[in-house]
Structure 1
């Protein structure tokens, strides 16, 4: 009888221990997202994202706005990062994208003479948001030939797009970076939307003036370069950026709605 009681007590204690053992905690949705983001990109590109504040930090942001200094008046560009709703405002025109269609508001009596609004409205946003916009869906990555400029070698990552991505999926980009710091230094890119320009030749912009804004490294200036044979030659125009704001709060969608006196662009 005594042995039976002892065995019974041991079983009770063993069962209680099993019941009080802490179960394995499930991976949270945020942790799952981090794992997915980490696995999605090539290692060198992950290192570049990390050098600029991290892809998880970028994905947590909802809006970006900045001002470009221009001789004929500053240009303000505002973007909702998830929907890519966008607004480009300058003294002569306002171009918007409401999430579905591009519209144009001409503020002068002169006929609009700029480039096609369908390509212009987010052009500088795309250059400015490097390298993080290279995390978008539908992108393919490959190693590129290094860029050698003024005796220094910059490794490269080539970016191409699936056929159903964007207005010009045939575009090609090459991100060149510092092999020690993984900071982005150059962008090579093709131009598809301007007639008379070789659509396969690389144009170049240089990034060497970064500023930390809300935890992310964003450019204060970007310099365009002359080019020949898929290589930069000499510095040309520099775009200077100010009033840079990136936040976890999106703009209200009404900001991007077409005004009554604006016209949709077909």
Structure 2
């Protein structure tokens, strides 16, 4: 659910030249995307006990532990110029996951991830000045209109939360860029994850008191944190050593399709032909925009 969808993408510097091993790269990217969406689906299994807020809280704790162990931030050395984007990133990080998981609970994994995916797609198209990108924007807009078309069973609150997740993901990308320029390595992302986990600590305690969790629910929520945060983050690090960043971005565009497929198999969330066509339109818009780019 990037998810979630919802994890920091390792930075790629202009001087970095990946070692070309296409097969290894494709296998790793496929594993990363599948892990991300399966983690989100497993987390959704804990909704009846913990609710989306409880699942997100546990996921934030797991993500914080993993990223703090990897990033090892030296927070005492941070200046205010470094702190303010980290604090904003922590707020966006929590809001993004909370809005996405709540949307998954209301409208299903496939539709929620597709709407969230509009965040990075919007950033990519906003920076472009080509006719093909304008056509891609129209194609993506048509997909969104189809997904949000009026019908008796439409959950507009769930759709709105999916769009909020998209706004948060776009903000997350821009803030991560700022943090990456001001703080070396993964220290900024790790610190933001830690602060976000602290923000969810009171929520987690309240849920534990009023809705005592079962071992199975906690295991599902923890698995969501590992599969949707830790595994994809490490997989991305390996992937970017074997494939160009452009290829990586192109493959990432299939995440809405993976989300819809996993939601169908794991959660029994079936989609109609129009929903599949709309998801395909959003994916195609991103794929064409990236594939036709130069440099």
TM-score by length of 1: 0.26
Q: Which has the higher contact order (CA 8 A, sep 6+)?
A: 2
Select the structure that is richer in strand. Answer: 1
Select the structure that is richer in helix. Answer: 2
Larger Rg: 1
